[in-house]
């Protein structure tokens, strides 16, 4: 096996594939990335047995086909630190050689046959979604998952496939993020119309999305999903368990509706967070005519009062929120974007909406705690 690579492209590929390589595992072989050079292309493979990726390396000149295992951490570090534009990889004398104009590395070769297979995308039945919409969906939902929970299937994002629409939903029971996007279906309906894809797989998909707008292909089976996007194919087992009936917690009506600009609102919340601490995270949101006042207080730290002019008319309303949950929502939006806050009373869920089919629900804190 011998090939010549564009070093920045190889470094980018290794960075993406390394995202799935486990740092701790009883299976030492999984700490490697498999390199396959065959059929006129070079492919990197990585997996932790639950999530896997195949990444085709662009800008490769192949002299000799073959396959080998690359120790993920070391090879990624080597290629990242090299300064030349090209790098050569070869397998000879039971060793992997990595060479550039001024540097040379020899690493022990391992048996590639011990590496588990990583699925290829060969499905004829799939759903196609624009990569920008997919990236927005992942960014706007994964932060609301709960990987530590043993209840339901909270460690991932549920995808509801209905006709030409795909709905992403994530919750940790204290907040809920829902994003809708258009899609197109190719072939028969998916075996599982509401799969829950783990957060780790979605983060890997997000890192694999190219800058240029294109389509991502999603094939869903009973217990697994495959996504082909850019140079990558990502395989993932689905999260087991029952996802909550999240639509039931979205209030059907609102007593008060307030339009807010993301940038200034996010800035005010970040300021209010400064004097909060672990035991007193609550920030008081007081809405009055033309003004939002954020008040936070901690016996050990101090107090803050932040005022933000808003377009609100009506009676005063004070609600206690964990500012982290609202900051998480605002962080994934553009500062110049306008969103709408819908309120009922101090005890009911607050709903944040944008004009691009994004809904975020946050439960207020109890003042009795």
The answer to whether position 119 is within a domain reads no
pLDDT by residue (tens digit) across 147-167?
787 677 899 999 999 989 999
Assess contact for 156 and 171: CB atoms under 8 A: no
pLDDT of 369 > 70? The answer is: no
Q: Which of these three, 192, 222, 246, is where a domain ends?
A: 246
Domain with 191, as residue range(s), is 126-246
Q: CATH number of the domain that 292 lies in?
A: 3.10.150.10
Residue 236's H or E segment, with its range, is strand 232-237
- Asked whether residue 275 falls in the same domain as residue 312, the answer is yes
Domains in the chain: how many in total? 3
- Asked whether residue 106 falls in the same domain as residue 6, the answer is yes
Average pLDDT, the chain: 94
Q: Which of these three, 114, 146, 176, is where a domain ends?
A: 114
pLDDT of 342 > 60? The answer is: yes
pLDDT of 331 > 60? The answer is: yes
pLDDT band at 368 (very low <50, low <70, confident <90, very high): low
What is the reported pLDDT for 281? 79
What is the reported pLDDT for 58? 87
pLDDT of 59 > 90? The answer is: no
What is the reported pLDDT for 196? 96
- Asked whether residue 100 falls in the same domain as residue 154, the answer is no
pLDDT of 279 > 80? The answer is: no
Compute the CA torsion angle 122, 128, 133, 138 (nearest 10 deg): -40
Q: Which of these three, 114, 149, 168, is where a domain ends?
A: 114
What is the reported pLDDT for 191? 76
**Averaged pLDDT for residues 259-268:** 98
- Asked whether residue 262 falls in the same domain as residue 350, the answer is yes
pLDDT of 305 > 60? The answer is: yes
What is the reported pLDDT for 354? 97
Which residues, 6 or more positions from 25, have their beta carbon under 8 angstroms from its beta carbon? 31, 48
- Asked whether residue 241 falls in the same domain as residue 267, the answer is no
What is the reported pLDDT for 107? 95
| Whole-number Å distance between alpha carbons of 279 and 74 | 42
The answer to whether position 368 is within a domain reads no
- Asked whether residue 108 falls in the same domain as residue 217, the answer is no
3-state secondary structure of 200: helix
**Averaged pLDDT for residues 24-52:** 94
- Asked whether residue 294 falls in the same domain as residue 197, the answer is no
- Asked whether residue 108 falls in the same domain as residue 134, the answer is no
The answer to whether position 184 is within a domain reads yes
Predicted TM-score (pTM) of this structure: 0.92
Q: Enter the tokens of residue 331.
A: 């962080």
Does residue 178 or residue 190 have the better pLDDT? 178
What is the reported pLDDT for 25? 87
- Asked whether residue 50 falls in the same domain as residue 141, the answer is no
Lowest model confidence (mean pLDDT) among 88-92, 124-128, 177-181, 273-277: 273-277
């Amino acid at each position: 096996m011998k090939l010549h690579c564009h070093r920045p492209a190889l470094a980018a590929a290794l960075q993406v594939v390394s995202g799935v390589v486990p740092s701790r595992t009883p299976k030492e072989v999984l700490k490697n990335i498999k390199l396959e050079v065959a059929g006129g292309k070079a492919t990197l493979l990585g997996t932790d047995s639950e999530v896997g990726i195949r990444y085709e390396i662009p800008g490769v000149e192949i002299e000799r086909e073959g396959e080998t295992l690359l120790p993920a951490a070391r090879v990624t570090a080597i290629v990242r630190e090299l300064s030349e534009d090209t790098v050569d990889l070869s397998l000879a004398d039971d060793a992997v050689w990595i060479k550039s104009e001024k540097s040379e590395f020899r690493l022990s070769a391992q048996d590639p046959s011990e590496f588990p297979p990583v699925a290829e995308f060969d499905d004829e039945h799939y759903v196609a979604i624009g990569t920008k919409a997919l990236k927005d969906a992942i960014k706007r939902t994964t932060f609301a998952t709960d990987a530590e929970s043993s209840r339901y299937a909270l460690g991932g994002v549920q995808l509801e496939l209905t006709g030409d629409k795909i709905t992403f939903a994530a919750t940790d029971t204290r907040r809920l993020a829902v994003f809708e996007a258009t899609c197109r279906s190719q072939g028969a309906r998916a075996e599982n119309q509401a799969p829950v894809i783990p957060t780790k797989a979605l983060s890997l998909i997000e890192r694999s999305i190219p800058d240029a707008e294109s389509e991502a292909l999603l094939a869903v089976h009973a217990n697994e999903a495959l996504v082909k996007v850019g140079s990558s194919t990502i395989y993932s087992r689905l999260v087991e368990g029952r996802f909550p009936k999240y639509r039931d917690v979205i209030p059907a009506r609102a007593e008060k509706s307030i339009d807010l600009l993301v940038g200034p609102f996010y800035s005010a919340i970040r300021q209010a967070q400064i004097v909060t601490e672990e035991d007193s995270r609550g920030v008081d949101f007081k809405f009055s005519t033309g003004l939002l006042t954020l008040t936070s207080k901690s016996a050990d730290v101090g107090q803050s009062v932040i005022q933000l002019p808003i377009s609100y008319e009506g009676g005063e309303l004070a609600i206690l929120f964990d500012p982290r949950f609202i900051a998480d929502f605002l962080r994934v939006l553009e500062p110049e974007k306008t969103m709408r806050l819908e309120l009922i009373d101090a005890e009911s869920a607050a709903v944040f909406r944008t004009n691009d089919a994004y809904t975020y629900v946050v439960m207020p804190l109890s003042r009795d705690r």
